[in-house]
Chain A
């Protein structure tokens, strides 16, 4: 145990121990004279006389006999900034074809600080759909989609109708030159099929090749003008001007994706501002799985959101997270000893915890995969939105289990 702590902690365990001891002495010896105190010290402890003279004496010779009043200050928080609101999807009335649309962002306080401000818009849960049936999926995921993996439209339908996805997050893997090198036209066909099959808003993702993605986005954006599709994504290595124009001229939105670096996120947003209104930009600072960099993902998101609230004009965008990345963790899918079974639960709980941790850092738009994870995060979000005070605290102390 001691060793474990030593390894995990940034060396300062000794200091913490020392502080704990000193603190104890500081308060303990209030009523003791000096001589008495020295007797109570173990010989090994290096404590010089001065240290034990209490700095802040609490002079209580009389112990209280009844509860003393106290009040807790509720910190209002001082925020000057506000996250912009981004509208995803367009209904017929708004020039699109969707049955409904969503607004994300708009926060004026950190995520779910209900005591400072209500969360203005409920975070959106999109489920991933791939246009390539051979995409490697963990067994625990695949079992839910086996029948539809070869048909993106059916896959999307299942997500919406059975698993209650708010949106569909379509990934165009086949356009990758290493996969099928599919043409923009065939990608468009897939998008149209999905738009036909479901009436929720959609996001459309590329394959990561900066040139090919732009080519494909352009064709899709033009043919679906006015839908406010969320293009996933624009990166620093793309032709930013051209991508932004494709998005803007056709009435869509885009995810600005950078790799875990607040400054890179600022840089990309800044470059986009030349061509695109803020209200069309969602940002994604990269999601790494629990155990595989979640600490970085969490902190970059938390930092950007706090900076935005403090008034940074280049970071005040809704945040998107590819929580599906949780499945990159070996613990999410690997066969492990019986004490860690069943892996059918380990995977989805991994995705759930990855997503919910980032929810508390400020994420507004989630891309997820496992139905149970989607359902769990949705329940959590609804509960967090409620802002209710329990009428009665649950009694777990005498609970018979």
Chain B
């Protein structure tokens, strides 16, 4: 059942209904609500694990499982989960597992290039509202079709990085030799096709690795493969419906959308698997300048992020072309039910003392990190009071009354800001100007209205601190 249609009551009725509180909730209904929101697991209800609840447990499990299977690739800290999704449109619930970005390598690349690309993939990092945006996987292709070369390259890649591998070779012998070296690291095998599926399935079973079924631009053949592999005993499957740039992008996006629609809304058998997109296909038409291939690849990858791809094979390692991709997936995979927010509280910047200024902002992650980076960059010594605005930006919070004079006054008391400084002077964001009088009245603190943008905060302090009158 699509997640959006599941009600807590349905889940509640299958729980033990004893309200024993072992799960830490005050009653079964509370846990049911969390289960429906996928904020708790069935294991959190110990009584349910007892044998007499077998049937209920299994029913609940079926009810709560994602429409798109969660497929684990790799081992250890850097393992990734592909799929595990419940809905077609993010506003219906939320998307969960970021599509993984796999950086392309080939077994014929010169060693320096091979190593350099792994290093870039491994070290790629961009800080965005308190999160580290990174890359996830290495896609290793056998362009040599030589088993020994592929094995050596796979071994080398596994030595150089902990990132999970996507091994690409359509010849089973070539694949087998690489698996003999790195098969214990749970790489994703690319790919079973209509020609080699049985040998590839045997390899996947032997090494207990997930397997991509590939049938570019032939959905029936793809489903036929998925069905056959499933009945053959392969459980962790990823689907490759084919990727093309240029005019082919129209059919590409159609196919991704059809597959995801059928998996979620029709609960069609054998289609509830993660999808593989290959933006690297943008490189098959050589452009005059590789920049153009990189550019097209970024567009193709972004379109596939928007349209349900769970893993992307990308050749470019240029920061400018990868940055929009990691941003886009982060944006679309945040929970639309609640804004990304930070904890409320009072934070120190630099080395503030009893005479340092106190600044106010909201707990929307984007707001908080923008302000924090501005005052850090300006090396300002100060305190920053972060009010719980339920994750809203300053202006939205003021307009939506999620930040009011009362909540500000309360925050000053709760966070004991008065103990940190000798003065009673608060600098508020320019966009909260209309609260200034009220805050002054309610909290007893003198308020000065700062600039509209926090990039001007340091200059404002420099010009106005210490305040003339207390």
Contact = CB atoms under 8 A, between A and B. Distances in A.
Contacts of B243: 394, 396
Contact of A72 (B262, B281, B291): B262
Interface in A37-78: 46, 48-51, 53, 55-56, 58, 60, 63-75
Interface residues of A, number: 95
Contacts of B55: 50
B70 A14 contact: no
Contact of A115 (B53, B145, B258): B258
A387 B51 contact: no
Contacts of B248: 383, 388-390, 394
A112 B220 contact: no
B328 A353 contact: yes
A356 B246 CA distance: 15
A70 B270 contact: yes
A114 B247 CA distance: 13
Contacts of A389: 217, 248, 251
Given A11-B39, A293-B366, A387-B250, A380 B84 contact: no
Interface in B6-26: none
B22 to A, nearest CB: 13
Contacts of B53: 50
Contacts of B232: 60, 63-64
A30 B234 CA distance: 12
Contacts of B134: 1, 4
Given A19-B65, A46-B43, A340-B319, A393 B81 contact: no
Interface stretch (A20-28, A158-166, A240-248, A273-281): A20-28
B72 A20 contact: yes
Interface string A154-195: 000000000000000000000000000000000000000000
Interface in B228-278: 228, 230-233, 235-236, 242-251, 253-254, 257-259, 261-262, 265-266, 268, 270-271, 278
Question: 7 nearest interchain CB pairs?
Answer: A50-B54, A393-B216, A48-B49, A70-B223, A394-B284, A390-B248, A55-B58
20 contacts: A1-B80, A23-B65, A50-B54, A64-B232, A67-B228, A68-B227, A69-B224, A70-B224, A70-B226, A70-B270, A291-B128, A340-B323, A343-B320, A349-B324, A360-B303, A360-B307, A376-B295, A388-B248, A393-B217, A393-B244
Interface of B: 37-43, 49-51, 53-55, 57-59, 61-62, 64-66, 69-72, 77-81, 84, 89-91, 94, 96-98, 104, 106, 108, 128, 130-132, 134, 136, 141-143, 145, 168-170, 190-191, 194, 197-198, 216-217, 219-220, 222-228, 230-233, 235-236, 242-251, 253-254, 257-259, 261-262, 265-266, 268, 270-271, 278, 280-281, 283-284, 291, 295, 298-299, 302-303, 306-307, 313, 315, 319-321, 323-324, 327-328, 330-338, 366
Given A8-B334, A360-B303, A399-B284, 19 more contacts: A2-B77, A4-B132, A7-B130, A15-B38, A16-B70, A23-B69, A24-B236, A51-B61, A67-B228, A72-B219, A291-B128, A291-B330, A295-B332, A349-B320, A380-B299, A390-B242, A394-B248, A396-B278, A401-B104
